[in-house]
Amino acid sequence: MKKQIRSSQGYFGRFGGQFAPEVLMPALKEVEEAFLSFINDRKAMQEYDELLRKYVGRETPLYYASRLTDKLGGARIYLKREDLNHTGAHKINNALGQALLARYMGKTRIIAETGAGQHGVATATAAALLGLECEIYMGTIDMARQRPNVFRMNMLGTRVVPVDSGGKTLKDAVNEAYRDWSKTVRNTHYVLGSALGPHPFPSIVREFQSVIGKEARKQILQAEKRLPDEVIACVGGGSNAIGIFSSFLDDDSVKLVGVEAGGMGIKGKKHATRLTPTSYSRPGILHGSFSFVLQDKNGQILDTHSVSAGLDYSGVGPEHSWLCESKKVNYTFATDKEAVQAFTMLCECEGIIPALESSHAVAYCIKQAPQLPRDAIMIINLSGRGDKDIYSVADYLGKTI
């Protein structure tokens, strides 16, 4: 059967769409058509699968966390170990897929935006692997905060383009990346980093991350001979979450839970919860699609706060807005404090240093697992490893490294 794009003409319910400048419309059309032939091209997909196995290190284990399970005294907890991928997170699944797509389209150059630098490093890695020219847009404030990742990208042969406009962070880097793309689309593909942006990007990113869910479903059926009761993932833009959820969306018995960054609590503005009802979150247009956005009453996009850079964004992927509104997925949040506690517990209990982003999913599990019977099964998508976060955690705990 021919693979199709999942959204209906770019819409998930009333969310999504293609709110892009006129000059980019032909480019988006070209990407959509190329993507459809790519995913239906056996040879192209075989190459992608083979690189996922031999280069990225898939499949990643589904690991039964027995000490964490015993400590919490409730549901059996499994971790989907995306932290064991090359470059340390799920982001490489998408960066590699889109870099192959770029080459498939005959493009010789890729660009991307990055906040914390994780997507920039994944994209720079894929560019080096495939011999593509690569430039990454990054706010100057983020560059200063994330110097090791800037150096990594440079070592991988990528130029990091400083963005000094606006707030000098991710939002501004995205604007510059679009500006570049509208001038260079003839030889350039824009590797968008999460399940965000104008159609067809949310569907492309979902497809390349769906490998997480496909593996997890097969692995839990093998280990437990049944489906899990809950599947939990953190939600920044929403790519690791949609990747693992995608294989369980039709199973009514499986509760899906997306965990957003509750920052310093959701009363004020120091958080990034877009799908948990607050006074600042409502549907609007940001970076090419219609989705829930944190904004003030005049529609000015709000700055967000989270201890984890990867969850610190005012918008969220349109499919999540739809899954939230149609109640197919439950969304909740964990605060900075809860995430750091979860980080510490996983380190001590399992010998795994999780990314602070992933620690939000672990934090939910710490609250929920004890409420569930001992034969219940939870899967946490451990989206990345936490070596990159040791400075933030030390800061938070008032320690110096």
Ligand X SMILES: *Cc1c(COP(=O)(O)O)cnc(C)c1O
Query: Do the Cβ atoms of 285 and 19 come closer than 8 Å?
Result: yes
Residue 212 to residue 93: CA distance in whole angstroms: 9
* One residue of 69, 87, 98, 118 binding ligand X per CB under 6 A: 118
Stretch that binds ligand X, among 32-40, 152-160, 233-241, 330-338 (CB under 6 A): 233-241
Stretch that binds ligand X, among 16-24, 102-110, 231-239, 278-286 (CB under 6 A): 231-239
C-alpha 167 chain-centroid distance: 22
Token reading at 103: 């080459």
344 exposed, middle or buried (CB, 10 Å; 0-12, 13-18, 19+)? middle
Residue 350 to residue 103: CA distance in whole angstroms: 40
Establish if 355 lies at the interface with ligand X (CB under 6 A): yes
Q: How far is the CB of 193 from ligand X (least distance, A)?
A: 7
Establish if 194 lies at the interface with ligand X (CB under 6 A): yes
Looking at the Cβ atoms of 185 and 350, the one nearer to ligand X is 350
* One residue of 357, 378, 379, 392 binding ligand X per CB under 6 A: 357
DSSP letters, 267-322, are: SSSSSB-SSS--TTEEEEEETTEEEEEEB-TT-PBPP---SSGGG--SB--HHHHH
Q: How far is the CB of 219 from ligand X (least distance, A)?
A: 20
Q: How far is the CB of 234 from ligand X (least distance, A)?
A: 5
* One residue of 146, 332, 383, 392 binding ligand X per CB under 6 A: 383
Q: How far is the CB of 87 from ligand X (least distance, A)?
A: 9
Torsional class of 327: left (φ above 0), alpha (ψ -120 to 50), beta (otherwise)? left
Establish if 200 lies at the interface with ligand X (CB under 6 A): no
Which residue intervals of 86-200 are DSSP H helices? 91-104, 118-130, 140-145, 147-155, 170-184
**For residues 244-303, which are near ligand X according to CB under 6 A?**
none
At 2, which amino acid appears?
K
Place of tokens 């009802």: 277
Stretch that binds ligand X, among 13-21, 169-177, 182-190, 351-359 (CB under 6 A): 351-359
Query: Do the Cβ atoms of 76 and 378 come closer than 8 Å?
Result: yes
Establish if 240 lies at the interface with ligand X (CB under 6 A): yes
- Residue 125 CB contacts under 8 Å (≥ 6 apart), including other chains: 86, 87, 92, 95, 156
Establish if 203 lies at the interface with ligand X (CB under 6 A): no
Q: Map residue 29 onto helix, strand or coil.
A: helix
* One residue of 39, 234, 362, 369 binding ligand X per CB under 6 A: 234
Token reading at 106: 């005959």
Residue 118 to residue 356: CA distance in whole angstroms: 13
* One residue of 39, 89, 362, 377 binding ligand X per CB under 6 A: 89
Q: How far is the CB of 37 from ligand X (least distance, A)?
A: 25
Residues labelled as active-site residues: 91, 113, 383
Q: How far is the CB of 382 from ligand X (least distance, A)?
A: 8
Q: How far is the CB of 217 from ligand X (least distance, A)?
A: 18
Establish if 235 lies at the interface with ligand X (CB under 6 A): yes
* One residue of 197, 238, 315, 318 binding ligand X per CB under 6 A: 238
Query: Do the Cβ atoms of 213 and 244 come closer than 8 Å?
Result: yes
* One residue of 125, 239, 273, 368 binding ligand X per CB under 6 A: 239
Looking at the Cβ atoms of 76 and 321, the one nearer to ligand X is 321
Number of chain residues interacting with ligand X (CB under 6 A)? 19
* One residue of 117, 288, 315, 384 binding ligand X per CB under 6 A: 384
Site for ligand X, rule CB under 6 A:
89, 91, 118, 194, 234-241, 310-311, 355, 357-358, 383-384
